[in-house]
Amino acid sequence: MKKGIAALLICLLLTGCWDQIKLKDQLFVDIVGVDYVGDSKKLKVGYVISSLREASQGGGKPFSLYFEEPGDSIYDSVGKTNESMPGVLTVQETRLYLITPRFAKDEPLNYLSSAGQFISNPLYAHLAVYDGDFTELLSRKKIKEQTVPDFMNGLIDNEMKRGDIPTNKLLRYILGGTDFISDYAINRLVPDKEGARLAGTALFRDGKYTGINLNNAQTQLACLMAGVPAKIQVITSQTEGKVYSIRVRSAKNDYRIIHSDKSLREIDISLKMSVKLIEDGPAVKNHTNPMLQEMEKAIAADLTKKAESIIATLQKANCDYFQLGHELAAYHPKLYKGMNWREEYPKLTIKPKIKVTILNTGVLD
């Protein structure tokens, strides 16, 4: 089968110079969905198309339309769409590409690199895995009183700005290189009674979906362990049966490689966080310095346990999300060359070391 997503991008991009086409003839593809038809290898491609009614100088009335065409190839699907839709398809305003799990397992996302060869391309569009029927989702008129494109993109943009989810832009996969950016976590969406919701991340190995996921809380902590800057992320959990909430004010990660001359013994992932304690139970009380120190240790122990679970899941998926292989190759090239990283990574001793410093609570004696 043809290289699915890349072919789609090529087809949509071969539209000529957009500024030489009348605005009223533009068909702006806001969201693209890609799946298979039934159990076949025939492709199902869906588009949420935005355009303008009564276009004139200074604007017009925006409207959106969902259109879907199956095809033996992307070229076939796009050709049928062009035949049945008056106007010119353009992806310059495309903000989101949704792919289904079975398509993600079969079509490595590094095929997207061909999109970078075009002057006009959707490099800043989001990528996400949608674990549901995107036809039902994208064909809706509105979700929570918002247009489908605004709701879906707002859902991702807001969480990304908070630092709770990874930044999955086409640009990262196109310009990130092919040697090490083949294992990653793509934001995962699932159906919700009112539309869709974020459900953590889907883990990819060698550019293919493994079928293994991290949940929302794991994704947030994994982002911090991977070096996402502190953006006042709020973490809520329990320690010793008590609920606590902290707001991350600063975070610094680091990797330590412990080795002998010929073998790798251990990799430590450290994460030092300065946080604001929001609450530690149903009733807010005054805290002494010794009490805060005990809380720092308890919270760090809780987060370390969660980090250990994240690492176990990544190793189960054989997904090097933290790019530890890149780190080893950069600073210990001889050691890396003597290893079969893909075979040895799942069995490595990888230890998280998390330290928490409570800056203040506002209720300190």
127 in Cβ contact with 170 (< 8 Å):
yes
Q: What was the pLDDT predicted at 9?
A: 52
For the entire predicted model, the pTM comes to: 0.85
Q: What is the pLDDT along the chain (365 residues), one digit of tens a residue?
A: 545 555 555 555 444 444 444 555 667 788 988 888 888 888 888 889 876 555 555 555 656 788 888 877 666 776 777 777 776 666 677 889 899 999 888 865 654 554 444 445 556 889 899 999 999 999 998 888 888 988 999 999 999 999 999 988 766 665 554 445 689 999 999 999 889 999 999 999 988 999 999 999 999 999 999 999 999 999 999 988 888 899 999 999 999 999 987 889 999 999 999 999 886 444 555 677 888 889 999 999 999 999 999 999 999 999 999 999 999 999 999 999 999 999 999 999 999 999 999 987 654 43
Q: What was the pLDDT predicted at 75?
A: 63
Q: What was the pLDDT predicted at 260?
A: 85
Helix H or strand E segment including 276: strand 264-279
The residues with which 250 forms a beta bridge, in sequence order, are 274
Helix H or strand E segment including 295: helix 289-316
- What's CA 312's distance to the chain center, in Å? 20
Burial per residue of 143-171, b for 16 or more beta-carbon CB atoms within 10 angstroms, e otherwise: beeebbbbbbbebbeebbeebbbbebbbb
- What's CA 93's distance to the chain center, in Å? 19
Q: What was the pLDDT predicted at 271?
A: 97
